[in-house]
């Protein structure tokens, strides 16, 4: 396996105005080139990438809305519905690594076109087949296929990473990630609009809304995106990262942050209807609140990165997991006391802190390898240039692995809810599992990155 890097290629500068020309010269670390040529090209690619990734996230999240339409005529119990929201998370997680590698293999522009058009694979049959009488097997296949939208995040981040200089990558990638994450509340708002106007009898209208947007994303990529010359998959980086213990520590933490965000985003509407059935007798009642959690979680993601810059990623991540454990405890208490206001406040806190944690954990990853490369230089094991190159190589590989494993957290959240409702008729066991996981995460963060000891990595 490999990770994505870029090699500077120099030739005649491309035309900036008029018809888009292929890039032949890309030197984002050169201040003069960046100011005169690079910045406007990078911004154009960033905004198109955000739109394409946003549509991909929305398609990935379609079943968080679709299950609200599946009334008694479909003959599916709550456990079956939680499986329908789990399988898209599973395929999306599996696809993240190959989608990352595809950017160098096919080129950023070409792969964005392909990955956008692949969204039609689930959206078109959903538009045709979603009606009473469709088999549960068919619904499971359709739900699984929406997982292709989850891979779009990985390839979009890998592509935009190539366009920006090191000093600006954090902001650019934060905007790209946040714009993509907003696809979750966006599709839920579309679902709310359909429920409020056409009613629960027309679930096919939700994917139908996205058909022109998918085509528009592919056309925008074809018209305005570029391919960075010299991008390549660096051989062996993923294998080396997989042998590094920090990869698995950070993957565990990312399950707790991003896994919670995407899992709760997929499950929130169903849980509201089951936990407070008397308050939400119809899907439209639940849909009014379903989008709020993913919305605030997406909007606060850059805050986590900002706080990590100021206070340190490990410190923010540690206290954030403490807050997530407190939020899950609040939800558990509110559910047992039947206090809807406190329940909603606790769940919204979980979304907020999952968003903050998304930003802070991603900030920890490059800091870990910067600290280790500095130690290697100080002890004479590597020269500064080789150490910096190793740190960038390992950072890219770890981000790819952690992103894929973290997305499996969405599967675990939905399976936890399913098993809890099956065994006891409520979600208490799931909330206890979440509290235990967040406690494990803050304990691991403390032991590995915060506990005072000789050899602790500096500035992580």
Q: DSSP 3-state assignment of 64?
A: helix
Torsion of CA 48, 50, 55, 59, to 10 degrees: 140
| Predicted TM-score of the model (pTM) | 0.85
What are the phi and psi torsion angles at 51 (to 5°)? -65, -45
- Tens of pLDDT, residue by residue over 98-146, are 998 888 889 999 999 999 999 999 999 999 999 898 999 999 999 999 9
Task: Give Cβ neighbours of residue 389 (< 8 Å, ≥ 6 apart).
Answer: none
Q: Per DSSP, which regions of 175-298 are E strands? A: 232-235
Instruction: Output the pLDDT for position 16.
Output: 43
Residues 6+ apart with CB under 8 A from 372: 391, 457
Cα(340)–Cα(322) distance, rounded to whole angstroms?
23
Give backbone dihedrals phi and psi of 5, rounded to 5 degrees, phi first. Answer: -135, 175
pLDDT tens-place string over residues 230-258 = 777 777 888 888 899 999 999 999 999 99
CB atoms within 10 A of CB 265: 32
Angle value at C-alpha 2, between 147 and 157, nearest 5 degrees: 50
Could you give the CA distance from residue 347 to residue 413 in angstroms, rounded to a whole number?
Answer: 14
Q: How many CB atoms are closer than 10 A to CB 281?
A: 11
**20-36 pLDDT, tens per residue?**
677 888 888 888 899 88
Q: What is the pLDDT of residue 19?
A: 46
Top-confidence residue, 169 or 412: 412
Token pair, residue 401, equals: 């692995």
- For residues 331-353, average pLDDT: 94
From CA 290, how far away is CA 115, in angstroms rounded? 27
Q: What is the DSSP letter of 26?
A: B
Give the angle 181-184-186 at the CA atoms, nearest 5°: 110
């Amino acid at each position: 396996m490999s990770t994505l890097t870029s090699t500077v290629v120099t030739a005649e500068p491309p035309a900036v105005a008029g018809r888009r020309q292929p890039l032949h010269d890309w030197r984002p670390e050169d201040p003069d080139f960046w100011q005169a040529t690079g910045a406007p090209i990078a911004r154009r690619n960033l905004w198109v990438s955000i739109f394409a990734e946003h549509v991909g996230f929305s398609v990935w999240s379609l079943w968080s809305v679709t299950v609200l339409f599946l009334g008694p005529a479909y003959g599916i119990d709550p456990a079956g519905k939680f499986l329908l929201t789990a399988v898209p998370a599973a395929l999306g997680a599996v696809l993240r690594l190959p989608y990352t590698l595809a950017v160098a293999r096919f080129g950023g522009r070409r792969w964005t076109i392909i990955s956008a058009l692949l969204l039609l694979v689930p959206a078109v049959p959903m538009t045709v087949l979603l009606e009473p009488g469709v088999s549960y097997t068919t619904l499971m296949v359709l739900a699984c296929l929406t997982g292709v939208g989850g891979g779009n995040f990985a390839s979009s981040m890998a592509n935009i990473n190539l366009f920006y200089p090191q000093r600006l990558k954090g902001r650019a990638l934060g905007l790209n990630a946040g714009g993509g994450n907003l696809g979750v509340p966006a599709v839920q708002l579309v679902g709310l609009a359909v429920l409020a106007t056409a009613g629960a009898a027309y679930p096919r209208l939700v994917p139908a809304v996205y058909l022109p947007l998918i085509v528009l994303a592919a056309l925008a990529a074809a018209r305005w995106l570029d391919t960075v010359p010299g991008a390549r998959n660096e051989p062996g980086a993923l294998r080396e990262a997989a042998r590094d213990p920090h990869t698995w520590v950070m993957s565990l933490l990312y399950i707790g942050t991003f896994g919670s965000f995407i899992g709760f985003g997929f499950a929130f509407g169903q849980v509201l209807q089951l936990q407070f059935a008397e308050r939400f007798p119809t899907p439209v009642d639940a849909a009014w609140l379903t989008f709020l959690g993913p919305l605030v979680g997406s909007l606060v993601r850059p805050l986590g990165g900002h706080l990590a810059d100021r206070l340190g990623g490990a410190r923010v991540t540690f206290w954030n997991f403490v807050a997530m454990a407190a939020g899950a405890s609040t939800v558990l208490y509110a559910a047992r006391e039947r206090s809807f206001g406190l329940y909603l406040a606790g769940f919204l806190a979980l979304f907020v802190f999952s968003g903050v944690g998304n930003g802070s954990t991603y900030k920890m990853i490059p800091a870990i390898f910067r600290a280790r490369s500095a130690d290697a230089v100080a002890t004479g094991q590597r020269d500064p240039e080789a150490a910096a190159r190793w740190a960038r190589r390992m950072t890219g590989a770890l981000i790819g692995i952690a992103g894929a494993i973290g997305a499996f957290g969405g599967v675990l959240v939905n399976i936890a809810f399913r098993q809890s409702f099956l065994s006891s008729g409520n979600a208490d066991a799931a909330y206890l599992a979440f509290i235990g996981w967040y406690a494990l995460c803050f304990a691991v963060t403390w032991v590995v990155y915060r506990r005072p000891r000789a050899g602790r990595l500096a500035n992580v």
